[in-house]
Structure 1
């Protein structure tokens, strides 16, 4: 790795802000809430006591403010692991690269990422409106294959057993497993009704999550295979599109991360929340209360 980063690698805006996230280092808190939906940024920051800065570029909206003397940033990532790759790399750069000198700082800063998202349950006993905390992100997206030092994600016994049990099609990206922060998991699940389990991260919403509209699937029993999978008391609880990338990149960069999802649909029973916005708001308030004490 070069000691000085070129302008084509570390891309900045004319005002010195990071290219996509469009903020400067001083506008980023150490605790960061990640949301997919850009409208959810204001749904989170409306609970702040004060908002210091606001920024928007494309679908990425950033609000940084204070709640109960805790400084927080909430940022929208958009959907998918490709967007997570952009956002987390840029947030890490804000914390750990001198943007003016374009040099990596000698002392690393650790950030805390908490995803507040929505998801579909694949287990019968997880009703809609439940909050699920991800113990692991099981990635089907292939993102980690582009980074060095990711062998442990692919060699994890759970990932290897998943490939065996599901007879994974080799034409797809090799599944990998990245772990969330045990400290954050304990914070969110202690004395609460939050369920924990493995979150499967798909590379799309329809075919990759077993949905059939006009196109047939190459494996129509995929969701059934995911539901039945178990290994040493680990099971897959839900499907979404971001967690594995958040966990994988956070691990590589040395940050803490946890993914919380409101279950808005149960794929097993075919049910959908009657009031998803209220359920999501309850998750937001729950997470903010916990984070202000962290």
Structure 2
């Protein structure tokens, strides 16, 4: 059965609605960044650029780095944006946009997020890199999908018990990364841990301006949580959505963050721009090894 026009919206030129992309515009290996300005910071390393476009906060550049075709896409901020980006990218490779029917042979994308974050653990210093072993959905996006087959109920239940999680909130979901990609990017320069994904920057991450929090002790509970060898290393706004949707759609995904602050000991990188630039070069080299 064909997918209705209201469900898969295309622009007059045949591109997908938000990303403004057609299938030929993207590589099978994609780097996600939040900030649209970071797209150029990555693509400047490319040997050649074949295509670039931008619509709203979604900027895409596709080119070649050491004979490997890559696309860099800015997702903007938050899990809601990831929902748009991943569903539309999957549509580009796994739905025939002419017939509006899913293809019989599906394509697997490799998705690497390069971001910045603050460490929650004292022993993970500024200027280091953290690979997210899992994404912890604290925002509820993944509850819109059938996730039982890819979730980690033992970790989830332990987290709910440890934090005395409010029953009025969406139940947390824990999704594992792509071990294939983790093994490619891991080295003695990287740390590994669970990345918690919040649905906002202020209250959902424990920041207080003029509004009181539902649980003003939640951040400490997150910091102190552990389950077997797993602990929560950092808090941001995209990773769990990337991991969950990628797993459901059959794609490989791994999130790597440059640590520019350490909340546990109050330190901040003396040169955060250099940390991000170094991580970009590190990730590009790992992609072509």
Same-fold call, TM cutoff 0.5: yes
SS of the residue corresponding to residue 265 of structure 1 reads strand
Question: Deviations along 1:12-64, whole A, 9 cap, x unmatched?
Answer: 11111111111110111000000000000000100000000000000100000
Which residues in structure 2 correspond to 1:141-290 (within 5 Å)? 141-148=139-146, 150-154=147-151, 156-190=153-187, 192-290=188-286
In terms of mean alpha carbon deviation, does 219-228 or 266-275 score higher? 266-275
**Which residue in 2 is equivalent to 1:117?**
115
Match of 1:212, SS? coil
Structure 1: how far apart are the matches of 2:139 and 2:190? 26
Q: Cα RMSD between the aligned structures? A: 1.1
The 1:134–1:204 alpha-carbon spacing in structure 2 relative to 1, beyond 3 Å, is same
Aligned to 1:24: 22
Deviation of 1:195 after TM superposition, in Å, equals 0.5
Partner of 2:12: 14
- Runs of 4 or more off by more than 3 Å in structure 1? 152-155
TM-superposed deviation, 1:176: 0.2
Matched residue count: 289
| 1:207-229 CA-partner distances (Å, limit 9, x unpaired) | 11111222222222111111111
**SS of equivalent residue, structure 2 residue 121:** coil
Aligned with residue 50 of structure 1, among 48, 51, 63:
48
Query: In terms of mean alpha carbon deviation, does 26-35 or 122-131 score higher?
Result: 122-131
Tell me the secondary structure at the aligned position of residue 91 of structure 1.
helix
Q: TM-score, normalised by structure 1?
A: 0.96
Distance 2:107 2:148 in 1: 24
- Please list every run of 5 or more consecutive structure 2 residues that lacks an aligned counterpart in the other structure: none
Higher mean C-alpha displacement, 212-221 vs 23-32: 212-221
Give the Cα–Cα distance (whole angstroms) in 2 for the partners of residues 18 and 218 of structure 1: 39
Deviation at 1:276, TM superposition (A): 1.1
- Conserved 8 A contact 1:154-1:160: no
Residue 72 (structure 1) aligned to one of 70, 73, 98: 70
Q: Which runs of no fewer than 5 residues in structure 1 stay unpaired?
A: none
Question: Structure 2: how far apart are the matches of 1:120 and 1:160?
Answer: 25
CA distance in 1, matches of 2:239, 2:56: 22
Query: What TM-score do you get using the length of structure 2 for normalisation?
Result: 0.98
Distance in 2 (alpha carbons) for counterparts of 1:21 and 1:92: 12
CA distance in 1 between counterparts of 2:157 and 2:186 reads: 27
- Name the SS for the 1:215 alignment partner: coil
In the TM superposition, residue 182 of structure 1 has moved relative to its aligned partner by 0.6
